[in-house]
Structure 1
Amino acid sequence: MKIEQIEAIPYSIPYVKPLRFASGEVHEAEHVLIRVHTDDGVVGIADAPPRPFTYGETQESIIAVMNKIFAPAITGLDPLDRGKIHQVLNRTVNNHAAKGSLDIALWDIVGKATNTSVHQLLGGYTDSMQVSHMLGFKPAQQLLEEALSFRETYGINTFKLKVGRRPLSLDVEACRVLRAGLGADTELYLDANRGWTANEALEVLRLTSDLGLTLLEEPCDAKEGVSRRRLVDKSPIPVVGDESVPTAGDASRELLSGGCDAISIKTARSGFTEAQQILGLCTGLGVDVVMGNQIDTQIGTLATVTFGAAHEATSRRAGELSNFLDMSDDLLADSTVIRDGRIAVRNDPGVGASIDPAKLERYRQDI
């Protein structure tokens, strides 16, 4: 079996409501559908979500690196030779979403070619994942109404609140209103997307110390090494590395330098192969992990569930799996269902993503 063709198809699907947070906002899912074709007729599928405000990748840059660099370099290789393929891909620095999507598509091929679910190939630990929902910038009462609605409709009882780059009083108010309205049994944690200084983060932790918050994600820029280490040392809850840890090397640097003491794993930027390496590092060091969300479509969410439910460590916490609900549509033929606060894995060969051709025709931007 040989790689015969790689398609990078730009598409755009509007959001019903934008997601706003400290490092930007998203009004449309302007993503790239990746399809890797083999000479045996097997096609691997994945989604590449550009996040220029986080990693510098755009829809155009992902298409360019696929068509001009990656495709010429790996066409003709056996998709089972993933080590060889990654050695070729890693000659090009960064481009995390592009590399991650290619890796997921290759795993999809392996699963389809062996008539096995990738979830089983990765470990097959459990058959579903608990769901966490991300809450963006809104007035506190609207945040509570959204959280109550998601709990009532989908059974979700874990929420990540986006904070940072606005008056601290608004963030503290949101935390208090959510805790009062949701009760003590709901898990709440924060994500500042590098929107605070270390001192601001410590002040928010002081003002919310009675609310039972469980995690503080990327509170300030990890490049500010001294202040970040001081924050991690003083924080009563784990400080999660996210944007600062896209690779296993980055994760090891931040953990060993004291820049964080928990890690967010995102398959959209690491694929499955590097996600395994990051997870192995974290489990070896005894570090908590959470499965993060790259503001994923249902295709990306399915990949996260496939990986997260395959391992014991990534199944302990709720994964950030629900923000596709804010989209007006999706390319997936069989919609993802959240039931009783969980998403079930798919046992189809491969990752389980099947594209609706009519929807792809409607939303693609290259015709």
Structure 2
Amino acid sequence: MKIVAVEAIPFAIPYAKPLRFASGEVRTADHVLIRVRTDDGLTGTAEAPPRPYTYGETQESIVAVIDKIFAPQLLGLTALERETVHARLNRTVGNPTAKAAIDLALWDILGQATGAPVCGLLGGWTDRMRVSHMVGFAPADEMVAEAERVRDTYGITTFKVKVGRQPYGEDVAACRALREALGPGVELYVDGNRGWSASEAARALSEMADLGLLFAEELCPADDVLGRRRLVAGSPVPFIADESATRPAEVTRELLGGSATAISIKTARTGFTGSQRVLYGCEGLGVEVVMGNQIDGQIGTLCSVAFGAAHRASSRYAGELSNFLDMTDDLLTEPLTIESGTLRVREGAGLGIDIDPDKLARYRQDR
């Protein structure tokens, strides 16, 4: 299983409807397909979604760092030498999704080589996860209509509501409209993407105290250190650290510093190896986790559900696994399907990623 090639293929697929939130918006999935090939004919596949407004990566930077820096350092290593792989990748700072995609692809190779699904290799707790759907910025009636459509079509009953607009009263009104329309049996939580100040967030949480929110996520910047600590200490619901806790050390810092009481795990930024380190650290501290969404396509979603379903702690809450529904197409030969509010792990060896060559040829950006 020696690595003989690492490919980074840029592709772009439009969204049928843009997702808008406090730190930006996404109209096109301008992602990078990662393929790691071995000398015995195995190919591990993953997807790197650049989020320049969060991590500073772009499609061009991911391709460049893999082609010019990462790939030459990995050739000749085996898929089993993950510690050596990560040590070499971490010589270069940043680039989390580029590093994560390589890790995901290596696990795909291990699954194929052993004939086992990656979900089983990681832990094999269950074969599916409940799905949470993200509702982006829009007028309140449009947000309600989207949530009702997703609930009625796919059976999804957990919704993550993007907040952080100014004035924040608009967000509170939207959350209240969602609660009134969807009823008490639906789970709601909010994500501010750092759009509010700590004082604005505290007032908004107070005004939404009767809505039965499940979580609050990144309502204000982590750099507002004292304000965020005061906010989290007074929060009536668990406070999730997401983009402020992208590595195990950052997770520890946010939790022990009182800036979060729960953690979002995203395989698109920590791979499977780093995600397990985050998960086990949270378990050791008695902290809950949720499976987040990097606005992944179906390839990234397959990775998220494989990890989330593999562990008891990461499968407890609904995972953010549905935003590929807003894409006009994808690269998989067999599209994912959400049924009765759940998404199943792909059966078979590895991750079960089978790329349609015609679709890849249509959407790739380097030819």
Q: Could you state the TM-score of these two structures normalised by the residue count of structure 1?
A: 0.99
CA distance in 2 between counterparts of 1:318 and 1:48 reads 23
* Structure-2 residue corresponding to 1:28: 28
Task: Please tell me whether the aligned partners of residues 165 and 171 of structure 2 are also in contact (alpha carbons under 8 angstroms).
Answer: no
* Structure-1 residue corresponding to 2:17: 17
CA distance in 2 between counterparts of 1:17 and 1:346 reads 27
- 1:50 positional shift: 0.2
- 1:228 positional shift: 0.7
- 1:42 positional shift: 0.2
* Structure-2 residue corresponding to 1:88: 88
* Structure-2 residue corresponding to 1:227: 227
* Structure-2 residue corresponding to 1:3: 3
* Structure-2 residue corresponding to 1:41: 41
Same amino acid, percent of matched pairs: 60
Q: What SS does structure 1 have at the residue aligned with 2:211?
A: coil
Counterparts of 1:1-367 in structure 2, within 5 Å, are 1-367=1-367
- 1:74 positional shift: 0.6
- The Cα offsets for residues 310-354 of structure 1, whole Å up to 9 and x where unpaired, read as 000001000000000000000011110100000001121111111
CA distance in 2 between counterparts of 1:8 and 1:325 reads 24
CA RMSD of aligned residues (A): 0.6
CA distance in 1 between counterparts of 2:82 and 2:224 reads 36
Task: Please tell me whether the aligned partners of residues 119 and 347 of structure 1 are also in contact (alpha carbons under 8 angstroms).
Answer: no
Task: Please tell me whether the aligned partners of residues 263 and 290 of structure 1 are also in contact (alpha carbons under 8 angstroms).
Answer: yes
Name structure 1 gaps, 5 residues minimum. Answer: none
Name structure 2 gaps, 5 residues minimum. Answer: none
- 1:165 positional shift: 3.0
Task: Please tell me whether the aligned partners of residues 198 and 220 of structure 2 are also in contact (alpha carbons under 8 angstroms).
Answer: yes
Q: What SS does structure 1 have at the residue aligned with 2:156?
A: coil
CA distance in 2 between counterparts of 1:276 and 1:79 reads 17
CA distance in 2 between counterparts of 1:15 and 1:158 reads 22
Q: What SS does structure 2 have at the residue aligned with 1:36?
A: strand
CA distance in 2 between counterparts of 1:246 and 1:13 reads 26
Q: What SS does structure 2 have at the residue aligned with 1:28?
A: strand
- The Cα offsets for residues 127-149 of structure 1, whole Å up to 9 and x where unpaired, read as 10000000000111111111111
- Tell me the amino acid that sits aligned with residue 219 of structure 1: L
- 1:166 positional shift: 2.0
CA distance in 2 between counterparts of 1:18 and 1:115 reads 39
Question: In terms of mean alpha carbon deviation, does 51-60 or 84-93 score higher?
Answer: 84-93
CA distance in 1 between counterparts of 2:297 and 2:105 reads 15
- Say how many residue pairs are matched: 367
- 1:198 positional shift: 0.4
Q: What SS does structure 2 have at the residue aligned with 1:138?
A: coil
Q: What SS does structure 2 have at the residue aligned with 1:232?
A: helix
Q: What SS does structure 2 have at the residue aligned with 1:283?
A: helix
- The Cα offsets for residues 95-153 of structure 1, whole Å up to 9 and x where unpaired, read as 10000000000000010011111000000000100000000001111111111111110
- 1:94 positional shift: 1.1
CA distance in 2 between counterparts of 1:90 and 1:351 reads 25
Q: What SS does structure 1 have at the residue aligned with 2:137?
A: coil
CA distance in 1 between counterparts of 2:79 and 2:314 reads 26
Q: What SS does structure 1 have at the residue aligned with 2:302?
A: helix
Task: Please tell me whether the aligned partners of residues 16 and 328 of structure 2 are also in contact (alpha carbons under 8 angstroms).
Answer: yes
CA distance in 2 between counterparts of 1:56 and 1:96 reads 10
- 1:304 positional shift: 0.2
- Tell me the amino acid that sits aligned with residue 326 of structure 2: D
Task: Please tell me whether the aligned partners of residues 79 and 110 of structure 2 are also in contact (alpha carbons under 8 angstroms).
Answer: yes
Q: What SS does structure 2 have at the residue aligned with 1:309?
A: helix
CA distance in 1 between counterparts of 2:179 and 2:196 reads 22
Q: What SS does structure 2 have at the residue aligned with 1:180?
A: helix
CA distance in 1 between counterparts of 2:353 and 2:170 reads 40
CA distance in 2 between counterparts of 1:338 and 1:85 reads 34
- 1:167 positional shift: 1.1
